[in-house]
């Protein structure tokens, strides 16, 4: 039986080296560094950090599960029944023994705990590190803070309620996840913090990351498969949006665009398709995973979810994309395979028409930043309708019939309705829909059960009340983590 946090603690106590327990670091990536006693040089910190990125991009976490769940739990994804993958999430037949949830919890905490160990060791090294290595050390600390913040944000949103709902509900006191400021000692009792405390810790990590970057004198590594200043700012913008701190959401989204020098620029079918041919092909992306032909997840890839395993845009999603919208070049064409309709390309995991398993996940992107700015300006205490429409237009004009801000609506209510649909169109397959529906307080329709009409098994569902259960193996481990009370009472009926 897996007991994720507790198993990881016991391995530390018995061996002093997590690698030997097949936890955390893969020796291929960290060169066998002992994370308890071996982080004694800047080079070793770097090896350990690379191992943490590897855990982040595993298909159990950001390489598939922790991103895909945000689409499969919403109203824009349909499973055609050709394979038994993601049905528990998409059909809302989930239990506390769900394998997707177990993997997200386990690998999320690998990232969190690894990062905590790197941060602790890095701080201890600061006073003895040679001046020539201090900038690199600060940069690695910045990335470790960013990795921990990212993993915490993903898990808090999955296993806790949405922190703010439609400016009327504050779930800050609801149970969140376990915060790991310091590496947890073996056999130590742990407990869940509140959602509000988790968000505070997440922002502290992101702010610490920016401080370390400033002290390093760098903006990040050359490739966007590592967390840069701009990527951290993009994640902060996302976090502030969820907190309904619209001033900071707009500010950090703008910073992310400026510091990354990225913008929305694909407005034709050909240019839009070129964004999704793998690796650095997405010129609008600020942070991506390092998945490629040499480092891919094959049958467990996101590309397989949206092809072989029968993932499709729901008919509602299809209806949102006009014939004049260049995004339809990825989503609308389908082929028939036996009795099932299957996506022809795989959407954002198209990989140039080749093997979709090699396509990567683009995690923080310029279009999301523009949409954050638009929503933040629209929902601010003093709404800036024109500013909101200006930001929204940069994304919406992927539909060639949208040519001016006048096409987006005339009132705040009209523009907000357009923006909600635009986030569905633009961010499909990036894992946001479940959280958007919750934070807007939408009465959602879920479990699309027909491919040729808008039909759902559950309708008018108060999705804002729902969060996923803590894996039962973790609860049963006996180290203090308690289940979310009555979580299953909020499943759709």
| Rounded average pLDDT over 17-23 | 31
Average pLDDT of the residues of the chain = 90
pLDDT at 211 over 90: yes
Q: What is the pLDDT of residue 35?
A: 58
SS3 344: coil
pLDDT at 376 over 70: yes
CATH number of the domain where residue 74 is located? 1.25.40.390
State if pTM tops 0.75: yes
pLDDT, tens digit, for every residue of 119-172?
999 999 999 999 999 999 999 999 999 999 999 999 999 999 999 999 999 999
pLDDT at 218 over 90: yes
Specify the range with the lowest mean pLDDT, choosing from 175-179, 193-197, 213-217, 343-347: 343-347
SS3 74: coil
More confident residue, 339 or 368: 368
Domain presence at residue 379 = yes
pLDDT confidence of 34, banded at 50, 70, 90?
A: low
Domain presence at residue 169 = yes
Domain presence at residue 479 = yes
Domain presence at residue 293 = no
| Rounded average pLDDT over 283-287 | 98
Domain presence at residue 481 = yes
SS3 213: helix
| Rounded average pLDDT over 434-450 | 96
Per the structure, the count of domains in the chain is 1
Share of the chain above pLDDT 70, in %: 89
pLDDT at 479 over 90: no
Q: What is the DSSP string of 149-178?
A: HHHHHHHHHHHS--SEETTTEE-TTSB---
Q: What is the pLDDT of residue 344?
A: 60
Domain presence at residue 275 = no
Domain, as residue range, for 193: 4-267+364-490
Beta-bridged to residue 335, according to DSSP, are 342
Domain presence at residue 334 = no
Domain presence at residue 302 = no
Specify the range with the lowest mean pLDDT, choosing from 14-23, 92-101, 465-474: 14-23
pLDDT at 33 over 60: no
d(CA 147, CA 128): 25
Residue 289: partners with Cβ closer than 8 Å, 6 or more residues away:
56, 57, 62, 63, 225, 360, 361, 363
Paired tokens of 8: 């990881």
């Amino acid at each position: 039986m897996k007991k994720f946090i507790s198993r990881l603690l016991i391995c530390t106590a018995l061996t002093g080296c997590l690698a030997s327990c097949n936890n955390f670091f893969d020796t291929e990536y960290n060169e066998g560094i002992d994370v308890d006693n071996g982080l004694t040089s800047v080079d070793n910190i770097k090896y350990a950090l690379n191992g943490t990125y590897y855990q982040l991009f595993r298909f159990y976490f950001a390489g598939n599960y922790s991103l895909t769940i945000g689409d499969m739990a919403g109203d824009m994804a349909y499973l055609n029944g050709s394979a038994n993958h993601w049905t528990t999430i998409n059909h809302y037949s989930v239990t506390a023994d769900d394998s997707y949830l177990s993997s997200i919890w386990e690998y999320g905490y690998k990232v969190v705990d690894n990062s905590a160990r790197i941060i602790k060791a890095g701080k201890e090294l600061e006073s003895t590190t040679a001046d020539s290595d201090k900038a690199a050390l600060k940069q690695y600390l910045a990335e470790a803070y960013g990795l921990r913040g990212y993993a915490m944000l993903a898990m808090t949103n999955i296993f806790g309620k949405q922190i703010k709902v439609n400016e009327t509900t504050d779930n800050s006191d609801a149970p969140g996840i376990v915060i790991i400021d310091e590496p947890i000692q073996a056999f130590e009792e742990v407990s869940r913090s509140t959602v509000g405390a988790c968000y505070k810790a997440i922002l502290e990590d992101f702010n610490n990351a920016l401080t370390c970057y400033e002290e390093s004198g760098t903006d990040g590594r050359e490739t966007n498969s590592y967390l840069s200043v701009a990527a951290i700012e993009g994640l902060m913008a996302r976090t502030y949006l969820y907190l309904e701190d619209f001033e900071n959401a707009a500010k950090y989204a703008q910073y992310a665009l400026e510091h990354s020098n990225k913008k929305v620029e694909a407005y034709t079918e050909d240019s839009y398709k070129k964004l999704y041919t793998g690796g650095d092909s997405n010129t609008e992306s600020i942070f991506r995973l390092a998945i490629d032909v040499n480092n891919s997840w094959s049958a467990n890839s996101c590309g397989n979810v949206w092809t072989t395993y029968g993932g499709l845009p729901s008919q509602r999603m299809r209806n949102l994309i006009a014939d004049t919208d260049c995004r339809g070049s990825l989503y609308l064409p389908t082929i028939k395979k036996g009795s099932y309709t299957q996506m022809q390309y795989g959407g954002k995991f198209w990989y140039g028409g080749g093997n979709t398993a090699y396509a990567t996940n683009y995690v923080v992107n310029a279009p999301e930043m523009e949409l954050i700015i638009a929503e933040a300006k629209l929902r601010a205490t003093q709404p800036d309708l024109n500013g909101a429409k200006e930001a929204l237009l940069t994304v919406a004009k992927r539909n060639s019939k949208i040519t001016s801000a006048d096409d987006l609506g005339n009132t705040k209510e009209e523009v907000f309705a357009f923006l909600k649909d635009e986030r569905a169109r633009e961010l499909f397959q990036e894992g946001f829909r479940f959280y958007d529906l919750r934070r807007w307080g939408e009465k959602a329709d879920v479990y699309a059960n027909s491919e040729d009409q808008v039909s759902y098994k559950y309708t008018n569902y108060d999705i804002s009340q729902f969060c996923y259960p803590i894996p039962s193996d973790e609860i049963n481990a006996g180290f203090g983590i308690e289940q979310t009370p009555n979580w299953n009472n909020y499943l759709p009926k």
